[in-house]
Chains A and B, each alone.
Chain A
């Protein structure tokens, strides 16, 4: 059972990364246009280089 001392903090840490990532996406307005973003991915305009 000693392994739990590692496993529980690790699971909390990994979940925490997910939470922080989610909060980051919310704060940076990434849910403002879900429909548009779903379509933009099909657009081939910036396939070869990032948008300047």
Chain B
């Protein structure tokens, strides 16, 4: 939520001279963007809008169901934090979005521009086709010439406007002396226009105005589909980035002030509340707590923190409030240094050539040579420049990559839409093609296969009386282990014991008095127990031997199915984690993964992925932490869950939006089918060319045949793509 302030420079010159006071700045309405992942029907729209509009200060709220967002205009002092609880009460999950990170308008301009060009091309081609049909059905002499002239009058301005993207692309390719798909397109369009104008001025029989326009129309349709798919992915990715509103609490003369993370400087004192993420690297000056480092290292065991402990940006503070003196901010934090590793690994991936590119590489020179040969052949055979040029134009038009231009975007649109509904976001244009080739899958453990939330494992080992005390103590803390313990005990029907003097000691645990005896729940050392290799909370009742409550990281839903399905489809599955050996071994056994590596450093992960790649394997890396980032970038294709760190999401090609891991196996299958459809589409387009090109070279092609070949191949290709659903 940002409150936009009007510039203070007032209209009268006297006021400009006056010092700008904050009071003079008239606050404008606040723009609040909310993400509503749960809305899905007209009832939801109505409820959300009614609830929001009923809030004091809200002037207008509008829901966008396509983007699952609500935009709220409200009085300047309204905060998203006031609106979210109201929505949650109404039964809708809501998150604040950073409006600065949502640059919807700029994206939209490009899409709108394409849509306008598409509309103009469609309008013009329909009108010209109407005239062409009359010519084909037998209009002659003056009537035919008039129809051709009218067609020319419609076509020339329409092409000048709607084919601009192709002209620009072709020009930028030619300028660096390269060929792309747009060069034959532009050549075909221009040659068709020139020969048609020439023919028309000589009262000739054949004009290709309709062909030039339908060609533009179909190709623009392909471009637009391509754009839409990417725009949807981009807006959802932006939304993920916008979810983390970068704010920090800076201590100024002992008072907390909320500021943007980008305004923090080295030496600032920053307050991090329990549950908050470290915005900077630094040293703890005040407070005791425990830190969750799993996103950075993969370790699940929380680390004890006290004044003097060095912390890195990205770690999560668990129990007590901490004050940190910043030692590195912004780009210098260890979080950002990791990005350099990613950049190095990325350069390897750009070597991949998409199917469309490799088709174009084969296709563009072939078409030019064929057309030039038929021009030369006919020029030598008939000695007539006009006939030769006409035939060369016909060859170019008929071979023009209409169907090729649609072949890839039509399939990727269908496949991406299908995966998006299952909760996967395809970020990279060639991600689907690369996913289809995968034969090895590498998983990270913490936060990827596991949900990052602990689960109590030995509830049955304890007496009811101990459990009652443990539950009462656990309810006094918001530590993840305490919450897991409390949840498990409540589900087992345990009632909390009556305790007095309950207090939480940040970094250690909770302590209370129970019928005169001191009871403690917390770290091993604090209650006088030996630290084992498992995640555990210890309960000490009076002077009795401390009891261990052991925890395991809960599996993410769908993890077992995903691993089983991937193994069933013949892929090699590996588990590489930064966590301790016993924890990794336990999980690998549970999931049936025989190939696992524990205590891996970030470099080890990337090196292992690289080694697999060098063996000729196509690796899919699934990971969420900073320690996975380099491996994500080094892999052939990568997936990260939406809960991953920003850096990991940026490095990956596909983002998993939901909690469920199940879609990963489906995605591989969908990607394989999609690639098959793309290849089929190329074959269909080739078959049409094989039939039509000899006719064109032989000089038998008429505008009618060109129009038929072009339309039928484009439509067959689109229909074939739709079969994917």
- Hey, which bits of chain A sit against chain B, CB under 8 A? 1, 4, 8, 11-12, 15-16, 18-19, 22-23, 26-27, 31-36, 39-40, 42-43, 45
With A11-B127, A39-B41 as known contacts, state yes or no: A33 contacts B112, CB within 8 Å.
no
Structural contact, A26 and B127, CB atoms closer than 8 A: no
With A31-B115, A32-B66, A36-B63 as known contacts, state yes or no: A43 contacts B123, CB within 8 Å.
no
Partner of B119, one of A8, A12, A23, A43: A23
A interface SS class: helix
Partner of A19, one of B45, B63, B119: B119
21 contacts between A and B (CB under 8 A): A8-B150, A11-B127, A12-B154, A15-B123, A15-B126, A15-B127, A18-B123, A26-B112, A26-B119, A32-B64, A32-B108, A33-B64, A33-B66, A33-B67, A35-B65, A36-B45, A36-B64, A36-B65, A40-B45, A43-B42, A43-B45
Structural contact, A26 and B45, CB atoms closer than 8 A: no
Kindly list the 4 A-B residue pairs having the minimum CB-CB distance in the complex, ordered from nearest.
A36-B65, A39-B42, A19-B123, A33-B64
User: Using a Cβ cutoff of 8 Å, how many contacts connect chains A and B?
Assistant: 52
Question: Which chain A positions have C-beta within 8 A of B64?
Answer: 32-33, 36
Instruction: Using CB atoms, name the residue of chain A closest to B119.
Output: A22
Structural contact, B112 and A34, CB atoms closer than 8 A: no
Structural contact, A12 and B127, CB atoms closer than 8 A: yes
Question: Which chain B positions have C-beta within 8 A of A27?
Answer: 112
Instruction: Using CB atoms, name the residue of chain B closest to A1.
Output: B143
- Hey, which bits of chain B sit against chain A, CB under 8 A? 41-42, 45-46, 63-67, 108, 112, 115-116, 119-120, 123, 126-127, 130-131, 143, 146, 150, 154
Partner of A35, one of B66, B120, B146: B66
Structural contact, B66 and A26, CB atoms closer than 8 A: no
Question: From residue A28, how far is it (CB to closest CB) to chain B in Å?
Answer: 11
With A11-B130, A32-B66, A33-B65 as known contacts, state yes or no: A39 contacts B123, CB within 8 Å.
no
Question: From residue A29, how far is it (CB to closest CB) to chain B in Å?
Answer: 8
Structural contact, A39 and B115, CB atoms closer than 8 A: no
Question: From residue A9, how far is it (CB to closest CB) to chain B in Å?
Answer: 10
* Cα A34 to Cα B111 with chains together (Å): 15
* Cα A15 to Cα B146 with chains together (Å): 19
* Cα A1 to Cα B108 with chains together (Å): 46
Question: Which chain A positions have C-beta within 8 A of B112?
Answer: 26-27
User: Which residue of B64, B67, B123 has the most chain A CB atoms within 10 A of its CB atom?
Assistant: B123
Question: Which chain B positions have C-beta within 8 A of A18?
Answer: 123
Instruction: Using CB atoms, name the residue of chain B closest to A36.
Output: B65
User: Which residue of B66, B112, B116, B150 has the most chain A CB atoms within 10 A of its CB atom?
Assistant: B66
Question: From residue A15, how far is it (CB to closest CB) to chain B in Å?
Answer: 6
Question: Which chain B positions have C-beta within 8 A of A36?
Answer: 45, 63-66
* Cα A43 to Cα B146 with chains together (Å): 52
Question: From residue B121, how far is it (CB to closest CB) to chain A in Å?
Answer: 11
* Cα A39 to Cα B45 with chains together (Å): 9
Question: From residue A12, how far is it (CB to closest CB) to chain B in Å?
Answer: 6
* Cα A8 to Cα B154 with chains together (Å): 12
With A18-B123, A34-B66 as known contacts, state yes or no: A40 contacts B42, CB within 8 Å.
yes
| Other contacts beyond A16-B123, A26-B119, A27-B112: 19, CB < 8 A | A1-B143, A8-B150, A11-B127, A15-B123, A26-B112, A26-B115, A26-B116, A31-B115, A32-B64, A32-B66, A32-B108, A33-B64, A36-B45, A39-B41, A39-B42, A39-B65, A40-B42, A43-B42, A43-B46
Structural contact, A45 and B130, CB atoms closer than 8 A: no
Question: From residue B239, how far is it (CB to closest CB) to chain A in Å?
Answer: 15
Question: Which chain B positions have C-beta within 8 A of A4?
Answer: 143, 146
Question: Which chain B positions have C-beta within 8 A of A16?
Answer: 123
Question: Which chain A positions have C-beta within 8 A of B116?
Answer: 23, 26
Question: Which chain A positions have C-beta within 8 A of B130?
Answer: 11
* Cα A33 to Cα B235 with chains together (Å): 13
Instruction: Using CB atoms, name the residue of chain B closest to A37.
Output: B65
